[in-house]
Structure 1
Amino acid sequence: MSAADAKAQKRQKFEAVFAKLRDELLEHFAAQGMPEDAQKWYRRNLEYNVPGGKLNRGLSVVDTVEILKGRSLTEDEYFKAALLGWCVELLQAFFLVSDDMMDQSITRRGQPCYYRVENVNLIAINDSFMLEMAIYYLIKSHFRSEPCYINLVELFLETTYQTEIGQLIDLITAPEDHVDLSKFSLQKHQLIVIYKTAYYSFYLPVALAMYMCGIPHASSGSSGTDPYALAKSILVPLGEYFQVQDDFLDFAGTPEQIGKVGTDIIDNKCSWCVNTALAQATPAQRAVLDANYGRKDAQAEARVKALYEEMGIRGIYEEYEEAAYKRIMGLIETIPETPVAKPGEVVLKREVFKSFLGKIYKRQK
């Protein structure tokens, strides 16, 4: 079987679990005596917003559980790992529905943003809340009697709060309709990226898998590093590197390559590229950025891109990428190569992080 076929089959298996979870949520909803039109509405909300993306975050939970257990999963283990993966996708859907309203975006995943669907409009606010709360219904339904239950709930709550903090900093730093580059800096960019992306896209899927596999926190007074703190110390820089790469591809990648037209310059995004340019711009170069960044004008965008080329942003990015790769590999190597595990015990493995880094390093889309 080719790698592409294996990937498609893996996705198909994961998507089959969504159908079961959707039906479970709808059955519970109907059992509350909800009217037929509300049932149809909730179904459309779930189907329109949850399953259509790349599903990387959700599939990462399943992949990590398999790596940690070091074997194929039983049917029940697969279902539970996939359920947690779909809870991450529900969280993502909650963020995207609300984020698109805040940004007044037009399309998402090749279709109109949900709030722009006929008759939805501001009802999308409540629909986003329902997507979020479906997470806690499903976790309670399937993990209530498991030792990891409260850890799963607390992890989702903490990660949601972190992401909302990141969103606030982003919204007040780079509003689309008011350009003020004095608010931008590489430090601000790093803060936004860590809170808005790294925690929920990278740490959350791995920590969920670790809890499901029964990996304990280090006991107080123990000499070893807490495995969750260790995982976070690797995954947050990994998430930061991923977002810098995304920002760079928005500028340097072609639509054929990245599957979309880059809009960070026109949308006044607090991107790594503009912050890197600002950090070393001469007064004349800064004037070009002030006059052209964040303008809804193709010529202004072209002037900013030309300035990026003149300032050597491509070369700076290549240096950044190599340094980030070495730094992350160094962090991964702090995990014992052959961890000592008691019979039946699951311990953290380097392979979890290497598989993430392998998917990201030098990616072109």
Structure 2
Amino acid sequence: MCPPHPLFSRFQDKGTSNGTQSKKALLSDPQLFDTQFDELVTELTERDIADPALTDALNRLREVLLYNAPGGKKNEVQRALLVGWCIELLQAFFLVADDIMDASVTRRGQPCWYKKEGVGLEAINDSFLLEAAIYRLLRRHCREQPYYLHLLELFMETSFQTELGQALDLMTAPPGQINLSRFTMERYKAIVKYKTAFYSFYLPVAAAMYMAGINSEVEHNNAKHILLEMGEFFQIQDDYLDCYGDPAVTGKIGTDIQDNKCSWLVQRAELEACYARHDEASVQRVKALYSTLQMEDLYHRHEEDSYRRLQELIARHAQNLPHSVFLNFAKKIYKRNK
């Protein structure tokens, strides 16, 4: 893990005392990030809550937080710890809901939250709790800061964009309806841009920029050019790993074929009879077709092309922004296997 870039140095935790500060100074970025999460869980579920009638609900919130928030890729560990965890909570909110809509089985190597015994569709409200926790934390810790309004607008706009992307995804592949004519590259790029790229890539960098006092629309648009391209690259990797990834490594069982997903791998020809079927024979026939079309080789060529294009975008659009922020992102996702 590289040391934090100077852009983010102002966000280092100051501690509550010299002793606390010195102990935290010995921790790595991931350790510091995890320590902050324990403190935030305590804050959200124990402090300043006077009504004993809420005890059961707050215990539920603690369980939801501990099960769903940790385990992300932590691409923002070099950024402000609190806002970093707000980004993780936003992702957890989306994933808990998405797993229900997709009828997924596993997430991050464990059963999806709604699949956990005793949870079921109560997970819908649990996802709302995760989202609400974001704004409670931002209000408590950032309300007096000059970037507070920017962060609120950024989180709310990102949520709206992601939910539009999810709507496109669901409309493109409604359950039980096989119509592969909907699967166009234009539709695929729109789903990826709104469902994945904004919240996974633009959100953490834009938040750090605002907190560092970089408010220029030009600079945010420059960052967006790079990061949305990176998000598309990331989603294509996800589509590839859904089919070819090892569940022991990825932490989830791929179901794009069974779930009729508009995936980068999809080729319309000869799929009508097999795609969106849940029997193993149909799934294997689709994978055999992918193999015949040499989709693995095509993917690896696309990965190399995408990485080269990202480097060109960084050189072109990050003239006044630290290249290392974007290059570190790109290196994290290049040739990833989970």
Q: Normalising by the residue count of structure 2, what TM-score does the alignment of the two structures yield?
A: 0.86
CA distance change for structure 1 residues 200 and 145 in 2, over 3 Å: closer, same or farther?
same
Whole-angstrom distance in 2 between the partners of 1:117 and 1:249: 24
C-alpha RMSD over aligned residues: 2.3
**1:268 counterpart = 2:260:** yes
Counterpart of 1:356 in structure 2 is: 329
Counterpart of 2:19 in structure 1 is: none
CA distance change for structure 1 residues 82 and 327 in 2, over 3 Å: closer, same or farther?
same
- 2:109 partner amino acid: G
Q: Is the 8 A contact 1:202 1:236 kept in 2?
A: yes
CA distance change for structure 1 residues 113 and 255 in 2, over 3 Å: closer, same or farther?
closer
**1:310 counterpart = 2:292:** yes
Alignment of 1:316-335 (within 5 A): 316-335=298-317
Whole-angstrom distance in 2 between the partners of 1:332 and 1:253: 29
Q: Is the 8 A contact 2:89 2:131 kept in 1?
A: yes
Whole-angstrom distance in 2 between the partners of 1:304 and 1:169: 23
Whole-angstrom distance in 2 between the partners of 1:336 and 1:201: 19
- 1:27 counterpart (12, 31, 46): 46
Q: Is the 8 A contact 1:60 1:206 kept in 2?
A: no
Shift of 1:214: 1.3
* Deviation string, structure 1 residues 79-124 (Cα, Å, up to 9, x no partner): xx11101101111111122222222333333333323334433332
Counterpart of 1:222 in structure 2 is: none
Whole-angstrom distance in 1 between the partners of 2:120 and 2:279: 28
- 2:103 partner amino acid: Q
Q: Any stretches of 5+ residues in structure 1 without a counterpart?
A: 2-7, 66-80, 219-225, 279-285, 340-347
Whole-angstrom distance in 1 between the partners of 2:127 and 2:249: 31
Counterpart of 2:33 in structure 1 is: 14
- 1:23 partner amino acid: T
* Deviation string, structure 1 residues 175-195 (Cα, Å, up to 9, x no partner): 343222121111111111110
Whole-angstrom distance in 2 between the partners of 1:103 and 1:25: 29
**Count of residues in correspondence between the two structures:** 314
Percent identity over the alignment? Answer: 51
Q: Is the 8 A contact 1:98 1:125 kept in 2?
A: yes
- 1:31 partner amino acid: A
**1:231 counterpart = 2:230:** no
CA distance change for structure 1 residues 254 and 44 in 2, over 3 Å: closer, same or farther?
closer
Counterpart of 2:94 in structure 1 is: 95
Shift of 1:135: 0.6
Counterpart of 2:271 in structure 1 is: 289
Counterpart of 2:243 in structure 1 is: 251
- 1:241 partner amino acid: F
- 2:198 partner amino acid: Y
Shift of 1:142: 0.7
1:291 partner SS: coil
